Amino acid sequence: MAAAREWAGAGAYPGWPVTCPLRPGPAADRASVEGETMTKQPGSSAAADPDQPVPGTDEAAAESDRPALADDEAAEEFQRPAVAADRRTPTGGPALAPGAPVLALLALGWLTAMLWSTREAISSAAAGITAISLSAFALPGVISAALVAGAAFALFGVDLLARRGSDRVTLRFVAAIGTGLLVGLAAAFAINLTYADNATTNVIAGTTAAAAIIGAAVAGARSAPVVGAVVAAALGTLVFVVAFSRARDPLFDLFGAGDTQESLLNAAKWVSRTESLLAGLVAGLLAFAYLTWARRRAARQEAAAPAPRWPAYLLAGAGPGLLLLLAEVVLRIGGRSLLDLAGALSEADAVAQTSLGTSRVDNAIWVLFVGALTAMIAFGRTLGPAETDDDQEPAETSVGR
C-alpha cells in the first residue's frame, strides 16, 4: 500500500507520467558528452568494468515497475473480502439431524396412539383375566413406541445443543438422558392417571418409562444423522406393522389356512415371514432416504461437509431391527411379572405367550438383516464406477503432450 500511495502521489491524474525529467540544455549536453568520452578512455576504471550500471537507470526501472506492483496490491486487496468470507464459513462443526422436531412430534403422536389403543382394549375387557391377557399382548407395542419416542425427543434436544455450539460428548449424553427421563415420566404419569389402578397398570407405566430412557441413551451418540435415520426408519416400520395387520386374514387364506391346526400354524409362519420381509424393506429404504436427504442438505450448507460412508447406511438400515430386539429385552426384564401372570392363566395362554415371544425375536432379526442389506444395496447403486489404469493413461498422455 505504501508503494501504491507513492505512485498515486507522483501521478495524481490519469495520463501523467510517473517521472518528468527536464530536457537538458546545450551546456549540459557538452558536459555529458565529455564525461562519457573520459569514461571510455583506456585505463580508466569505467573501461575496466564496462558492465557497471549507470546511476539513475535502476531508479527509472523501479519507478516504471511501481504501477505493476500497485496493480498487484490492488488485486490482492480486492480478493481479501472473499478470503475473509471463506474463513467465516463454519467448517468441522457437528453433523445435525434434519427434521428432528418433526420426528419428535410424530413419535410422540405414535406413543400416544399406542397408549390410547391399549387403554381401550383393556377397558373393554369383560373380565380381569382377559384384561391381563390383552395387556401382555399390547405391552410390546407400547415399549417399542416408547423407545422410539425417547430417542426422537433426545435427538431433538442434542440437536439444539449442537446448534448452540455445545458438542461435548458428556453434555450430549446427559442432555439425552434428561430428555428421555422427562418423556418417560410424562408417559408413566399419563398411564397411571388414565388406566385402572392395579398391578398391571404399574407394570405398563414402569416399563414404558424405562424404555423411553433407554431409547434416549441411544440418541446420545455423536452421529446425529444416523440416529435420525434409525428413528425415522423404526417409526415407519412400526406404522407398517400395524397397517399390515389388516392384510393378515387374506394372506392366511392365500397360504392355505384350513380347519386343521397344522395348516393354521403353517399359514401363520408364512404370514409372519412375509410381514418381516416387507418391514425390513421399508426400514432399509427409509433409512437410505433419510441419510441421502441429510447428506444433500449438509452439502448445500457446506460444500466441504463429509458424506456418510457405507457403515452409516449399514447401521441405519439395521437400526430398526436392533430397536425391536432391545424392546424385547426390556419386555422380558421389566414386564416379566405381567408375562408370567398371563402365561399362568391356562396352558393355551402359556403356549401363546411362548409362541408370540419367539415370533417377535424372529421378526426383529429379519428386519435387522433385510433392512441393513436393503440400505447397503440402495447406497451401492449411487456409487459410480471406480477409476482404472486404462482410464488414467489417456489423461497422463494428454498432460505429457
Q: From residue 373, how far is each of 161, 264, 313, 376 by CA, in Å?
A: 33, 31, 9, 5
Would residue 69 count as lying in a domain? no
Residue 390 pLDDT greater than 70, yes or no? no
Q: What is the pLDDT of residue 386?
A: 58
Mean pLDDT of the 20-40 span? 43
Residue 75 has a CB neighbour count (10 Å cut-off) of 10
Are the C-beta atoms of 98 and 297 separated by less than 8 Å?
A: yes
Q: Is a pLDDT exceeding 70 seen at residue 224? A: yes
Q: What is the pLDDT of residue 345?
A: 81
Angle between helices 336-343 and 310-334 (to 10 degrees): 60
Please say if the pLDDT value at position 336 is more than 50: yes
pLDDT at 234: 95
pLDDT given at position 366: 94
CA gyration radius for the chain?
Answer: 39
Do 159 and 97 form a contact (C-beta atoms < 8 A)? Answer: yes
Task: Give the Cα separation of 326 and 144 in Å (integer).
Answer: 9
**Distance of CA 320 to CAs 103, 149, 183, 290, 372, Å?**
15, 13, 20, 13, 9
pLDDT at 104 over 80: yes
Is 172 among the domain residues?
yes
Residue 34 banded pLDDT, cuts 50, 70, 90: very low
pLDDT at 79 over 60: no
- Mean of all residue pLDDT scores within the chain: 75
Quote the pLDDT of residue 305.
62
Tell me: the pLDDT tens digits for 260-276?
777 888 888 888 889 99
E strand or H helix at 349:
helix 347-380
Q: How far is CA 9 from CA 16, 21, 67, 363, in A?
A: 11, 16, 12, 84
Contacts of 32 (CB under 8 A, 6+ apart): 24
Q: What angle do CA 241, 245, 251 make, to 5 degrees?
A: 115
Given a contact cutoff of 8 angstroms between Cβ atoms, the answer to whether 349 and 340 are in contact is no
Residue 24 has phi, psi (to 5 degrees) of -75, 150
Report which DSSP code applies to 124: T
Percent of the chain having pLDDT more than 70? 68
What is the predicted pLDDT for the residue at 303? 64
Mean pLDDT of the region 118-131: 72
pLDDT of residue 8: 43
Answer whether residue 50 is part of any domain: no
pLDDT at 125 over 70: no
The answer to whether position 299 is within a domain reads yes
Highest mean pLDDT: which of 25-34, 44-53, 174-183? 174-183
Write the pLDDT tens digit of every residue in 235-261: 999 999 999 888 888 888 888 777 777
The DSSP secondary-structure symbol of 22 reads P
Q: Which residue has the cell 412430534?
A: 105
Lowest mean pLDDT among 27-36, 332-341, 367-376: 27-36
In a domain, 201, yes or no: yes
What is the pLDDT, as a whole number, of residue 229?
Answer: 92
What pLDDT score does 126 carry?
Answer: 52
For the segment 319-345, the average pLDDT, to the nearest whole number, is: 91
DSSP one-letter code for 21: P
Query: Using one digit for the tens of pLDDT, what is the confidence trace for 146-164?
Result: 999 999 999 998 888 777 7
DSSP state of 53: P
d(CA 217, CA 151): 7
Find the domain containing 326 and state its range: 100-380
CA 151 to chain CA centroid, Å, is 15
Q: In angstroms, what CA-CA distances link 254 with 53, 58, 248, 283?
A: 105, 100, 10, 25
Identify whether 261 is part of a domain. yes
pLDDT over threshold 50, residue 43: no
Q: Are 118 and 135 in contact (CB under 8 A)?
A: yes
Provide the 10 A C-beta neighbour count for residue 373. Answer: 16
For residue 151, what is its C-alpha cell? 430417542
pLDDT class of 31 with cuts at 50, 70, 90: very low
pLDDT of residue 159: 81
The predicted-structure confidence for 172-196, as pLDDT tens digits, reads as follows 888 889 999 999 999 999 998 888 7
Name the residue type at position 68.
Answer: A
C-alpha dihedral sign at 62, 65, 67, 70: negative
List, in order, residues 6 or more apart from 18 with CB less than 8 Å away.
7, 10, 11, 63, 64, 66, 67
Q: Which residue has the higher pLDDT, 200 or 125?
A: 200
Question: Per the domain annotation, does 237 fall within a domain?
Answer: yes
The reply to whether 339 falls in a domain is yes
Q: What is the structure's pLDDT at 87?
A: 37
The predicted structure's pLDDT at residue 365: 95
Q: How many domains does the chain have?
A: 1
49 by DSSP, 3-state: which? coil
